[in-house]
Amino acid sequence: MMHVEVVSREDYLSFIDQQPLGNFMQYPSWAEVKTEWDNDLLGWFDQEQRMVGCCLVLYRKLPGLNKHLAYIPRGPVIDWKSKQLGEWFEPLFEYLRRKNVFSVKMEPPVVRAKWKTPTIKEYLKEVREHELKGKTLRDLGPDEVVGSAEYVQQELRSMGWKEKDGEGGFSAIQPQYVFRLPLEERSLDDVFAGFHTNWRRNVRKADKQGIVVTEGGEQELKEFYELLKVTAERDKFSVRAFSYFDTMYKSMKREDPNRIRLYMARYEGELLASTIATHTNGHTWYLYGASSNEKREKMPNHAIQWKMIQDAHAIGAHTYDFRGISNTLDESDHLYGLLRFKLGFGGEACEFIGEWDYPLQPLLHWAFDMYMKKR
C-alpha cells in the first residue's frame, strides 16, 4: 500500500520536474500566487519509501466551520494509466479527512479527445454551407480518442467521484477544452508553414511595418497590466488586482528563470500588445494576453504569438499551449472567436476529462454545491 505525506519544497520540485504530466498549476510557485488559499505539497510513497506521485492541494475554509474544500488544479501528478487508481486515492482521502476536508475537487491532466486543424476547418465549411446552428466539437468525430481516458472516467465514477458538466466546455475554474500546437521533432519552418496563409502574411506584415517584440522585465509589468485593463474593458471581462500578477511574476521567476516570461510588442515605442507565458515540463503555456485598441492593423498579436512560439521551440518545448477555447463551432456564438484566432496557427483542439468532485462528507458537500449554484 502507498501512503501520502507532506514533502519539502526541494523534494517536491526534484520529483515533479521529471514528470511528463507536471504543469505550472502543480508547482509550489502557484501556491504562492493563490494567496487566498492554504496549501500542502504532498507526495505518494510506495512500500520502498520511493516517491512515486505528487500534488499541490489548495484549501479554502468554510466561514464559521472548521471544514475545508480541497482543490487540486490540473492534478494530481500520478500514474493515470494505472489499473488500480483506487490505490492512489485511498491514501489521499485518508490524509484529507485528517485535515477536516469535506469535499475534494480536481481537474485531472488527462486528455480524452483531439481534433486536428484540417478536420475542424472541413467541418466548419459544412456548417457554413448548410447554415447549421449550435454545433460543437462533440458533433464532430475526433481524430483521436484516448482509450485510457475512458477507463479513467469509468474508474473515477466507480470510486464515487462526481463529474461536473461545464457549460460550453468552461467550468467555474479551468477550461475543459484547450488548443495546442505540437512542436516536438518539428523545425520552426515546418511550424510556420502550418499557419493559415493569412496568419503567415500577418506575421510578415507586422515585421515589415516595424513591430518589435521583446521580453520585458519586472519593471514593465505595470505596462502590461494597464493594457490588460484596456482589453478587459473592450472584451467585457474582469481583471484581478495588479498584486496578483506581481506575485505571480516574482514567485515563478524565483522558482526558475524560465518559468515565466513577459512579452512586449511595440511600434515606435508604443505598447500595442503584451503577453505572459509560463513553461514547465517541456510545455509552454500562453497564460495572459493584452492588446491595444490602436493600430491593430499592424498585427501585433500575430507577431507576439510567433515570438512566443519561437522561444518555446528554442528552450525545447514539445508543446505550445494556447489554453482555453470554447467547444462551439457556431460562428454566431461570441465564444467562437477564442477558437478562430488560435486555429490560424495550426495545431489541435484537446478535450480534458473535466472537473470532478469527491464528497468526503456527502451532506455538507451537497449543501455547499446548492449554495454555489444559487450564487
What digits encode the pLDDT tens for the residues 38-77?
999 999 999 999 999 999 999 999 988 899 999 999 999 9
What is the tens place of the pLDDT at every residue in 299-330?
Answer: 999 999 999 999 999 999 999 999 999 999 99
Beta strands in 73-154 (DSSP E): 101-106, 111-116, 144-145
For residue range 328-347, list pLDDT tens digits in order: 999 999 889 889 999 999 99
How confident is residue 359, by pLDDT bands cut at 50, 70 and 90? Answer: very high
CA 31 to chain centre: 15
Burial class of residue 331 in the structure, from the number of CB atoms within 10 Å of its CB (0-12 exposed, 13-18 middle, 19+ buried): middle
User: For position 168, what pLDDT does the model report?
Assistant: 52
Report the alpha-carbon distance of residue 203 to residue 188 in Å, rounded: 14
Position 375 scores a pLDDT of 59
Please provide the average confidence, as pLDDT, over all residues in the chain: 95
* Residue 146, burial from CB neighbour count under 10 angstroms (0-12, 13-18, 19+): middle
**Quick one: DSSP state of residue 62?**
P
* pTM for the model: 0.95
- Give the residue from 34, 129, 125, 115 showing the smallest Cα distance to 72: 34
Summarize pLDDT for 235-261 with one digit per residue, the tens. Answer: 899 999 999 999 999 999 999 999 999
- Among 67, 60, 7, which Cα is nearest to 38's? 60
Q: For cell 502507498, name the residue.
A: 2
- Inter-residue contact 58 to 73 (CB < 8 Å): yes
Q: Which has the closest alpha carbon to 24: 285, 296, 263?
A: 285
Among the listed residues 103, 113, 110, the one whose alpha carbon sits nearest the alpha carbon of residue 162: 103
